[in-house]
Amino acid sequence: MIYLSGTYTAIHADLRHRFGYMLNAMRQIGNEYDAVQHPWMLDNGQFSGKFREDVWLSRLEELSEYRETCLGIVVPDVIGDHDGTLTLWQTWALCVRQNGLTPLFVAQTGCTIGNIPWDEMGGVFIGDTEAERVCWCFPIIAEAKRRSLWVHVGRVNSVKAIYKYGMADSVDGTTFKFDTKRTRQENILWAVEHCNGITELQEPLFMLD
């Protein structure tokens, strides 16, 4: 598992190489050129209601240069609506592929193992609200892993949540935008690395400010 931070500049410099980065759909994040030297993913802005077709397409084009470190592109979706998400997938997944990037299908309420376009995607992004997705997402995660597809879970902002979704290949959250303390970043790293089977703490960890 790798934790994707929505900010690069707020991560302590000596910890940055241990994170990946979730890029903003509408604008560059601070020091984005440095961020894309690490694993990265591009959001679509739908959850926050900020998706704009022209800007997102421009972002795909400008970021395609860094495809070697790209984990995937979150294809536009409809929150809580699997059928609506499928409709958008038919249009936008092709745009992602045309830029040489990997499309990620966003799983929403209404999806099942039998109605997801497995053969068309490079991975699955577990979306929807936390209250809704816990009712259906774990069989989807297990099936994606069985198919050797990348699994990402959005809005994971605590150590407890990291362990809940420990089968995922990556998770992201906004926690570092609001809490930039070193101990917070180290705790998140420790939980991620523990999920990866790393049981010895890597220095520097748990240093007092």
Q: pLDDT band at residue 209, thresholds of 50, 70 and 90? A: very low
Predicted confidence at residue 49, as pLDDT, reads 84
Residues 90 and 102: beta-carbon distance below 8 Å = no
Predicted confidence at residue 43, as pLDDT, reads 97
- 153-205 residue pLDDT tens: 999 999 999 999 999 999 999 999 899 999 999 999 999 999 998 665 544 44
Q: pLDDT band at residue 25, thresholds of 50, 70 and 90? A: very high
Residues 6+ apart with CB under 8 A from 75: 44, 88, 89, 92, 93, 96, 103, 104, 105, 106
- 92-124 residue pLDDT tens: 999 999 999 999 999 999 999 999 999 999 999
As a whole number of angstroms, the distance between CA 106 and CA 120 comes to 12
| Domain boundaries defined on the chain | 2-195
CATH T-level fold of 2-195: TIM Barrel (3.20.20)
